[in-house]
């Protein structure tokens, strides 16, 4: 009977968990967020966003390229369950961001909803639910994804680009 050590993939996952744990220990929860922002004017945020989209669309058209907009996923959205690691790491905690006591997920939901509603002609690929059927670890913190999460997004973006090229 031979006994082999952990696989390289398992060692890599363990090292990432240790790095995350160290980072979490060095950032006390009381310091997040460092300050509360005043109430955000979501209408102004959406207006500025569309101004940037128009600029990007202009340069894409100028160079003969197609413009695609991907709404990125974020922690606490689009998954019926989360991993034990994500629970233990408190990744999905509702952290208040603005003076109206709205959390980061609430602000992002509001922003994305307005973006989709205000310009339905825009070629938007909504990736918020991309992890719905995945049960493993996706996030290292509220916004940073694991390699698995990055790979799933890259696959979806590739599929959309290929679909556009074949159209």
pLDDT digits (tens, 9 = 90+) for 66-87: 888 898 887 667 676 777 766 6
In a domain, 91, yes or no: yes
In a domain, 108, yes or no: yes
CB atoms within 10 A of CB 137: 21
Nearest to 54 by CA among 44, 67, 71: 67
| Model confidence, pTM | 0.64
Q: 43-52 in b/e burial notation, b at 16+ Cβ within 10 A? A: eeebeebbee
The pLDDT confidence band at residue 154, using thresholds 50, 70 and 90, is: very high
Q: Are 129 and 78 in contact (CB under 8 A)?
A: yes
Average pLDDT (11-31) is 67
The residue range of the domain holding 132 is 33-166
Distance (Å, rounded) from C-alpha 121 to C-alpha 113?
Answer: 14
In a domain, 5, yes or no: no
In a domain, 28, yes or no: no
Secondary structure percentages of the chain, helix, strand, coil, to 5: 50, 5, 45
In a domain, 123, yes or no: yes
In a domain, 8, yes or no: no
Can you give the pLDDT at residue 124? 83
In a domain, 68, yes or no: yes
In a domain, 70, yes or no: yes
What's the structural domain count of the chain?
1
Q: Which residues, in sequence order, are bridge partners of residue 145? A: 139
**Residue 51: pLDDT over 60:** yes
């Amino acid at each position: 009977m031979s006994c082999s050590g952990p696989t390289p993939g398992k060692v890599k996952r363990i090292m990432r968990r240790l790095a995350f744990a160290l980072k979490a220990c060095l950032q006390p929860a009381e310091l997040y967020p460092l300050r509360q922002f005043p109430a955000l004017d979501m209408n102004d945020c959406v207006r500025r966003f569309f101004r940037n989209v128009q600029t990007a669309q202009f340069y894409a058209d100028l160079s003969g390229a197609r413009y695609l907009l991907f709404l990125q996923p974020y922690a606490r959205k689009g998954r019926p369950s989360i991993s034990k690691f994500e629970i233990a790491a408190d990744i999905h905690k509702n952290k208040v961001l603005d003076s109206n006591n709205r959390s980061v997920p609430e602000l992002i939901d509001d922003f994305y909803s307005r973006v989709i509603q205000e310009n339905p002609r825009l070629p938007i690929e909504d990736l918020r639910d991309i992890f719905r059927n995945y049960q493993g670890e996706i996030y290292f913190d509220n916004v940073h994804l694991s390699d698995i999460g990055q790979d799933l997004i890259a696959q979806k973006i590739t599929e959309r680009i290929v679909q556009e090229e074949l159209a």
